[in-house]
Amino acid sequence: MKRIAVIQWLGATMVAIGALCPPQAQAQVPGRFYWKTLSDANAVPLVYQSLSGNTNPFDPAHIVAPGANVDASLAMVGYARTFTLLDRSAMAAIIVPMGRVSGEITAAGKSFNQSTNGFGDPMVEFNVNVLGPKAQNNLPDVLRYEPGFSLDLLADLALPIGNYDSSQPLNIGQNRWYGRLGTPVVWQLGPWVPGQRTTLEFLPAVWLFGNNSDYVGQTLKTDPLFQLDAHLTRDLTERFWGALDASWYNGGKATINGVAGAKLNNWGAGITLGYQVNDNLNLTVGYKSTLNNSSDPTALRMDNFMVTLVFGWHPLLEGARRLKSE
């Protein structure tokens, strides 16, 4: 009976790799994304997002176009794998966005009413824990695991190979290199028991952007963008959890052929609900929106509804499950 209970508990934690929320879309990672799980676990996410606002949601620079009305449908597929690096938990992931974006926007002194679809810029991510419990390499490690205060280092890099048309400002691909450096923090509050887990999580990060030398026939430069995400997460049952989300964007001033725009200084808030469908499948639903002075045309405006399915598996747990059924 004890072995069966262990297998069931491990199954409930296996897809805690996270929802693999794409950084391109409102650039906010959901709560519990950087929770640690057993090394050599695998996950495949399927993500759908519906977005609207005054900026291109495929571009994490969030360049505001005053008066713009942009709508987008975004779908993503990816792959993530956990592993051990020098006794620390690590994860590598890749996600490929695709979808449609349309709207009315003024950019580089011209007005556009356009739509486009296709594949976006694939993004790779590497994350490694530097402070907190060591990697979980076997079943006893998982049973003993509690995050306590955990600190990671992460790096993202987008590959500029997505669909791009230099004659229009709204594109799925961005025609430039960009990436992110950050330090995810998970702070355990209270007991680490399924159904009772509570965490306070932070992700301070800076986005860095290369130049786009053919942005509607002009050169686009963007200053670094600082972003802070925060989440208060709580188990509602052993399989159902919720989170209150907040974010802050600062910087990212865009310059087009030497003409500088306004930098961002905006807040956002949202809510996330997650449900463990079975031992391999996790469902997450979330809504996020910026909080702005509606009379300020330079303020970032973005609404984002997201549904995510993550299928996860681990050879050790699949083998243990087969033993249970025998």
What would the pLDDT profile of 110-159 be if each residue is shown by its tens digit?
A: 778 888 999 999 999 999 999 999 999 988 888 888 999 999 999 999 99
Q: How far is CA 44 from CA 81, 108, 258, in A?
A: 9, 39, 43
pLDDT exceeds cutoff 60 at 181:
yes
Q: Is 288 within 8 Å of 273 (Cβ atoms)? A: no
pLDDT of residue 114: 85
pLDDT of residue 155: 96
Q: How far is CA 15 from CA 33, 40, 149, in A?
A: 10, 12, 21
Tell me the mean pLDDT in the region 63-73: 87
pLDDT exceeds cutoff 50 at 25:
no
Q: Is 139 within 8 Å of 104 (Cβ atoms)? A: no
pLDDT single digits (tens) 33-42:
888 888 999 9
pLDDT of residue 228: 94
Overall residue count recorded for the chain in this entry: 326
For the chain, percent of residues with pLDDT exceeding 90: 52
Q: For the whole model, what pTM was predicted?
A: 0.89
pLDDT single digits (tens) 270-305:
999 999 888 888 899 999 999 876 678 888 888 999
Q: Using CA atoms, how far apart are residues 172 and 264, in angstroms rounded to an integer?
A: 22
pLDDT exceeds cutoff 80 at 312:
yes
Q: Using CA atoms, how far apart are residues 53 and 50, in angstroms rounded to an integer?
A: 11
Per-residue pLDDT band at 105 (split at 50, 70, 90): confident
pLDDT of residue 92: 94
What does residue 115 show for φ and ψ, rounded to 5 degrees?
-150, 150
- Judged by average pLDDT, the poorest of 5-19, 190-204, 238-252 is 5-19
Query: Of residues 22 and 189, which shows the higher confidence score?
Result: 189
Q: Using CA atoms, how far apart are residues 26 and 266, in angstroms rounded to an integer?
A: 12
The neighbour count for residue 87, using CB atoms within 10 Å, is 9
pLDDT of residue 295: 73
pLDDT of residue 23: 52
The neighbour count for residue 161, using CB atoms within 10 Å, is 12
Query: What residues contact residue 115 under an 8 Å CB cut-off, 6+ apart?
Result: 100, 101, 102, 103, 170
pLDDT exceeds cutoff 50 at 12:
no
pLDDT single digits (tens) 221-271:
999 999 999 999 999 998 999 999 999 999 999 998 888 888 999 999 999
Burial of 56 (0-12, 13-18, 19+ CB in 10 A): buried
Q: Is 300 within 8 Å of 53 (Cβ atoms)? A: yes
Specify the CATH number of the domain 2-325.
2.40.128.130
Q: How far is CA 47 from CA 3, 17, 86, 160, in A?
A: 34, 15, 32, 21
Query: What residues contact residue 76 under an 8 Å CB cut-off, 6+ apart?
Result: 20, 22, 45, 46, 47, 49, 95, 96, 97, 98
